[in-house]
Structure formats: C-alpha cells, structure tokens
Structure 1
C-alpha cells in the first residue's frame, strides 16, 4: 500500500479526495449559477431559442423574481424531477428480487454450473448483467469468480479481475432494462427541456446498443483475461484453503426454477397483450415505435421483477405472508436514501440552470463555436467520450456525473442535431469503462481486500495494473462500436438514431 499515493493515480486520488461530497458539489454549482445569472443579466445577455426563435433574456436568480422562483419551485423541482420516480419505482421490483436472494442465487448458479471451458465467459457475462442488482454485484461477483478459478486450478486473481471487469467496466450494459436506464434517461429528459420540452428519452432508448455491447464485451473480456492477465500472473502457488464456495441449495434451485416459470408466464401475457388485435398498447398505426407499450416500459419491468421476486421468495420461505413483500421493498428503499438526498440538490441545480436561460445560452454559443471550427462530426463525439472518461476519475458516481454533464452537453449536441439518447450512449461507455481504475471507486478497496486473501503482498498498484487492460480495451472497443452504429445508422434503441428526426 506504500505506493498507493505515488504517481499519476496517486495524484488523481489526492485530487478526488479533496472534492466535496457530491451533494455539496451541486449546492455549490447552484450557488454559482445564481451568481452567473445575475452577472449575465446585468450585462444584458440574451440568446435566441433554437426551437421557437424567441429572444430570451438571461434571468437573474438573485432578483426578486428569481428569489420567488427559488423558494416557490424547490419542492416541485425535487418531486417533479423525472429520474426520481423512475428509479424508485424500478428499485421497488429489483430491490425485492435482490432482498429475497433471487439475484444472488441466479449469479451463483450461472457461474458455478458453467463448463470449465466457458467459466471465463460466464464470469464476464454474469458480471456485466450483475448491474441489475446495482452495487451488490461488486461484492458478489469478483470473490465468487476468484473462488471458481481457484477450484478449477486457475489463478484466482485472474478470476477476481475478470469478475471486477465485467461488473465495473461493463456496469452500464445489459440485455434487460435496468435501474441505470431509468436513471440516466430521466436526467437526459430533464436536460433536453432547455431546447425542446417535448423530447422524452425513455429507458429503452439505448437498449439495442447495450445488448450488442454485452455480447462484444463478454468476448473481449475473455480474450483479455486468457491472453493478457493469466499469462502475466502465471501459476498460482499460494494457499487459499477454506475458499471453497457454498453450493446452491436444492430449495434455492427450486426457487430459481419457479421464478423462471413465473417470469416466462408474465412475459407471455405481456406479449399476448401487445400482439392482441387492436391492442391499446400499440400506436394508432398498429406499431410499437412509439407506442403506449414503450411509454409504460418502467411499470412493465417493475411488475416483472415483483413477479419473479415473489415466486422465488415464497419458494425459499423468505416470503411467508403478504406483509413480507412491502417489508423487503422498504428495505430496498433504505439503500436508495443517499441517492434521494443527492437528487434533491441536483434537481435544484438543473432547474436553476434552465430557468435562468443560462443552459440555453451555453448550449447555443458552444454549438456555434463548434460549427465555426468545423468540429461537428465524429471527432467532437469522440472528444466528449474521452473527456467523460477523464472526469470519471474524479467523479465516480455515474448519476452525479451525468447530472453535471447533461445540462451542458445534451442541449449543445441537440443544437448540432444529435439525438440526446445517442449522446447518453456516448456518455455511458466512457463512464463505465473507467469505473475499475478510478481510486474514487469505493469498491476498489473491497476488491483489494478480496485480492489480499490470495496474495498478502497485493496493493493498489497490483489491482490497478490488472484492471488497466480491461479499462483501456473496453473503452477502445466501445468507441469503435459507437462509430459503427454512427456510420451505419443502426438504431440505438426503438426508433432512436444518431440524429433528431
């Protein structure tokens, strides 16, 4: 650990540790917007709204009108903030499935039952999908992967690295609609209102891109593990006695089976409801892009997780009465308390930024500048990705960082005719890739503790050196994938392309 504070990573860690708590970052930013709005108003700054052509004056938040807005809108800013309801609703279902043990059992069963030749694939794949359990995957997948590798005679640190890479660097990808989709799309929608208040970024708008990402990152993660990490580590010669894993019990297996049956029945009923002639879940032309079905995807996904969570919980006797269901939901809400507090401050900052018209002013002038230097295509998108990757080294929370970036970059790119959902996808690949190398990731120390159970001399440098290939290669591959979608016009989600229609 003596080298932890040396070099570039040490400098990043020291800088990050000096930053205030994310809650106060938004408080300070809100205060900064107040001051800047007053200064801009004093100089008579105006901007032409790109959508309506209306000339807008920068409104001062420190004026009488501004102070009335601040006091009168505070509660509405918070309760009306789109990500709040989306994420809390999603977590009612996902949290229930997690608290009764369904997600943990599914992860263990998937990895432990994988053939030896496919163990690495299983670890990376399940690690990526593990984000459905939110941060719980960080403390479940890496140690389990290390134990599995050790049991089959492979280096346990290679398994731990693969598990951490899938869970951390692949955090934003999934084949299911997860809480991350609801959270980020809500923030994107709020930011887009500065240009067009009719824009709605939905949780499925990056779905196609993320499904492809899961497949590609799983393959790439395996190649990194088996061609780079394991050869570097060599043969494990340590003693890890007592690291045998606990088998999935018979009742847990039955619970998993019943959850799968319940989930398939539920999905079948949803499919039937959508396919039914003249279904009210389809649009007037009979299509589903757009449609009430996609508009209601959050409650549909919520009910899916409640269905499988209850089926599993009843089977394993975690749910023995009706009262147990809301009890587990309430426990999952306790885990969201920090997010709720953060959102209160973030909502004020974003709404102040938009009400004052500073957001529109920054977006219009930034877009005009980029156009004047002829930087409006792929170079500016890639530049945004790289900037986000660097910022993630000092702002670990994905939601906090997007709440910082979205009010500036979403309107700016919309004025360059880019769809906000496309920009959101560009943000996600950068934020996710560097999760595993930023010293500000609180789970790095937990993974380091797991690592020391197999190698007493392991330090922060050991862990970072193992994770750096995953981070850099994942980011590079993801940028290439983004370019492919960009050039070929493959939709990022249902009806979502690169450009605004």
Structure 2
C-alpha cells in the first residue's frame, strides 16, 4: 500500500516537496546564515542611519535613533562586545548545564531502557498511545530521540503483529511533531526561554522568561498529542498501510533483568530526590520560597535548571552503578564529555546567533521594526488572536526551510517578541505559539537531517519506500497536530489558563 501511494498518489505533493527541497538546499548552513545576517544588519544599520531615522518607544518619552555599526562607535562595539555576546548569551549556559545531566542519562542507556520498558509493558490496546507518549518524552534526549524512538517503535509494532511502518510513523510523529512538549522541564525550555529573555533584556529588563513559563501548556500538550497521534495512527495511517506481509525487521527484545533492576533503582532515586526537594520547599522559612512564602517567583523557580540537572545526575548515576557502566567516579565525567561532544554544533551556532541578536539590539533596528509593525497592526485594527494564528502559520512554513528550532527562534524572536510586546502580549505566550508551529512541521521538511535516517529504517520493512512514502505517512500528523495545537492554544488563552506559573496571554 505504501509503495503504491508513492508511485501513483501524491505526484503534486512530490513536486511541492521538491520545490521546498531545492529552495531549502540553497539556504546556507545555519552558522553561515547568521554570519550573513550579522553582515546584513551591519550594512542595513549604516544605510538607515543615513536618513536620521528616529522613533519613540511606547511608554517612554525617550527618542531613539538607529545607530550605525559602520562607524567608529560601531566598530568599537563589534570588537569589544564579541566575547561578551558569546559567553554572556544566556541560552548557552542553560542548555550546556542541562545536557550534562540529560547527556549522562542518555549515554549510559537509561533513556533507551526506559523507552523499551514503557512501550513493551503497555497493554495491547494502549501500545499506540504509549509509542506516541514515549516519542514526545524522548526530546529529553534531544536529537538522539530521532535515532532511538522510531526504529524501536517499528520493532514494537512488528513484535505485536501490527504494521511496523505504522509504528515507525507514530514514533517519528511523537519525536518530531511533538518535539517541544514534555511533562518535565527539558533542554528546549531552557534554550528558547534563554533567547526570549536575551531579546527582552534591553527592552524591559523586568520581564524574564523562565524555563517553566510554558510548562503547564506543554504538560497538557503531551496528553492531547498522545491521544491525537494514536487516533491518527489507528484511524488514518494504519488502515492505509493495510496488513504487513513483508519479512524485514526484527522483534524487539525486552530489557534485561539487570537493566530492569537499574531502571527500578533509578526510579527510586528519582522519587527520593523529588521528595527531598519538596521537603526543603515546605519547611518553615524555606530558602527556596520568596519572602512572602510563595513559589511564584521564588529561588526555586530561579534555580530550576540546577535542580533538574542534579535530578538527572542522581538517576543516571544510580542506573549506571546498578548496571555496571559506572565503575568509578571518572566514568561520570567520561559520559558527560561524550554528551558535550554532541553539543559542539550547537556551541558553534550560538556564537554566530549571539552576535546577530546583539547587533540587532545595539543598532535599535529590532525595536524600530517591532514598534513600526505593532503600530501598523494597530492602525488597521489587527491586534487580536488572528495575528497570533498568522504568526503560527508563518512559523510553520518557515520551519520547512530552517529545521533548527533554536536557529529559527533566534531569527524570529528579535522581531516578533518585541512586536507583540508592544501589543501587550507576554513574551512567554508568543514563545508557546512559536513552539507549536516549529514542532508540527519537523516531520515533513526535507531540511530535517533525520528524515533520511528514518527513511533508511523504513526501507528495512519496505525496500521500495521513498521520500514520498514517508512524507505521505507523516503529513496527516503534521497537519492535525498543528490544528489541534492551535485550538489548545486558543483554549488556554480565552479561558485564562496559565501557560506556566503566573503566565497568561497578556502582560
């Protein structure tokens, strides 16, 4: 069935995808993209400054002018700020710190064991829900989840006598289209909130977007997307594939007794750690609560990244000790170092992105574009939720060409976060709107480097499968996930449900 649809159905889809692929392939590497954008900002600031452009920021009587980077002052800024722009870029430390803990848990095999144990232990009627659910939670392992979850999901379906490509599609949908959702704070939360805060720093230093500001919305999203993804798999994808009659693939093996014992001990360590944190929070005059005894804001929320880091270290070390992968304390740093190697590309990208954002702020171009855009939308009476939906759809389309979520947010945030701020929308709400769009089209863009890897897994079960086969499988997930997520965003917004602790749609 899959190969037939690839051959006969979807010629228009393949032409459309070919156009996207050709256009996307013409884009430079994300690092060079930000280098070019930084150069563009330098030249644009010089050109606009020739016309003595000035504006007044809403809520302030100060008149702001566009400053040129092609000047003595600009040259001094470029040279003296470069290192500070990089090392002072908030997402850098947040993400690297998170990945020390998450990377340890991943490299010693804890996350893979947890995935196998969760899916294989699910009742037959709940297998599909478990696959989607585990796929979504897989973003704890960052991009590694693209390589781990889909093939495991295919083997699970094959093991229980269902079409393995349906399992692969479900796993890929959970990992890719649900990438930004989770029930715990993950590296994505730290990264995006750090960029949002960096953008707001020079505009309103009182507004800080924390890693927990989208937490409630993303927790609910996990449940909603797990149900949605399972229904898509069972009602649309699996019936279309029909019965699997191939002989490719292999059955998934259950975790060994040693791995199960390690997982059990890790779970005990996780619960004990959480209990300890709760005990510290609720003791009288707790140092983790604010002066009024509340949690929002509080040192607890301000220190959420170190708290989560130590949680992953605790469960990772417990698992590693149990299964024998951590024979000495030196092994901890060894596995952490392996995880940091995987972050090298991110570090290089951040160096260029940090310069671009800093130049945008220093020249006042970002604020000028944001104020002008907000004024234009107000002048035509378009400031309501329709603008937010338009932003979501624009981001979803842009994601077809720029796969990196951090790169795209670093590109969009300096303009849209500021523009919507002047329309009184909370930056954390705009960040949530961005996240649902950025995730939904991850699984249908040829710019996703893991799509080729997933296609290779697919060929193990269907030798004739091609890119059109994979895209045809994933398109229903992408469209329906985005639609359902937009509805969920509107429900939170209109019912006044907080997106995170103390975070609503408006400031």
TM more than 0.5: yes
Count of aligned residue pairs for this structure pair: 499
Confirm or deny that 1:260 pairs with 2:267: yes
Q: For structure 1, which segment, 148-157 or 14-23, has the greater mean C-alpha deviation from structure 2 after superposition?
A: 148-157
Mapped to 1, the partners of 2:78 and 2:485 lie a distance apart of: 41
Please point out which of 48, 56, 64 is paired with 1:48. Answer: 56
Please point out which of 492, 497, 500 is paired with 2:499. Answer: 492
Whether the 8 Å contact between 2:106 and 2:112 is mirrored in structure 1 is yes
Q: For structure 1, which segment, 439-448 or 383-392, has the greater mean C-alpha deviation from structure 2 after superposition?
A: 439-448
Equivalence for 2:399: 392
Equivalence for 1:233: 241
Equivalence for 2:433: 426
Equivalence for 1:222: 230
Q: For structure 1, which segment, 149-158 or 486-495, has the greater mean C-alpha deviation from structure 2 after superposition?
A: 149-158
Equivalence for 1:453: 460
Equivalence for 1:144: 152
Equivalence for 2:3: none
Whether the 8 Å contact between 1:194 and 1:411 is mirrored in structure 2 is no
Deviation at 1:245, TM superposition (A): 1.7
Confirm or deny that 1:19 pairs with 2:27: yes
Deviation at 1:246, TM superposition (A): 2.5
> Structure 2 unaligned runs (5+)?
1-5
Deviation at 1:4, TM superposition (A): 11
| Dislocated runs of 4+, deviation >3 Å | 1-6
Please point out which of 354, 360, 379 is paired with 1:353. Answer: 360
Equivalence for 1:63: 71
Mapped to 2, the partners of 1:106 and 1:12 lie a distance apart of: 37
Confirm or deny that 1:79 pairs with 2:87: yes
Please point out which of 374, 380, 401 is paired with 1:373. Answer: 380
Task: Report Cα offsets for 1:264-310 as digits up to 9, x if no partner.
Answer: 11110100000011111111111101111101100000000000000
For the residue of structure 2 that corresponds to 1:323, the secondary structure is helix
Q: For structure 1, which segment, 145-154 or 409-418, has the greater mean C-alpha deviation from structure 2 after superposition?
A: 145-154
Mapped to 2, the partners of 1:127 and 1:407 lie a distance apart of: 31
Whether the 8 Å contact between 1:126 and 1:166 is mirrored in structure 2 is yes
Mapped to 2, the partners of 1:234 and 1:309 lie a distance apart of: 41
Deviation at 1:440, TM superposition (A): 0.7
Whether the 8 Å contact between 2:14 and 2:468 is mirrored in structure 1 is no
Pairs within 5 Å for 1:433-444: 433-444=440-451
Please give the TM-score of this superposition, normalised by the length of structure 2.
0.97
Q: For structure 1, which segment, 147-156 or 490-499, has the greater mean C-alpha deviation from structure 2 after superposition?
A: 147-156
For the residue of structure 1 that corresponds to 2:481, the secondary structure is helix
Deviation at 1:121, TM superposition (A): 0.7
Mapped to 1, the partners of 2:146 and 2:346 lie a distance apart of: 18
Please point out which of 243, 246, 255 is paired with 2:250. Answer: 243
Deviation at 1:134, TM superposition (A): 0.7
Whether the 8 Å contact between 1:5 and 1:11 is mirrored in structure 2 is no
Distance 1:407 1:253, change over 3 A: same
Equivalence for 1:175: 183
Pairs within 5 Å for 1:198-347: 198-240=206-248, 243-347=250-354
Please point out which of 200, 205, 208 is paired with 1:197. Answer: 205
Please give the TM-score of this superposition, normalised by the length of structure 1.
0.98
Confirm or deny that 1:129 pairs with 2:131: no
Task: Report Cα offsets for 1:240-275 as digits up to 9, x if no partner.
Answer: 2x5122321111111101111111111101000000
Q: For structure 1, which segment, 445-454 or 2-11, has the greater mean C-alpha deviation from structure 2 after superposition?
A: 2-11
Mapped to 2, the partners of 1:264 and 1:428 lie a distance apart of: 30
For the residue of structure 1 that corresponds to 2:142, the secondary structure is helix
Deviation at 1:148, TM superposition (A): 1.1
Mapped to 2, the partners of 1:171 and 1:380 lie a distance apart of: 24
Q: Give me the CA root mean square deviation.
A: 1.3
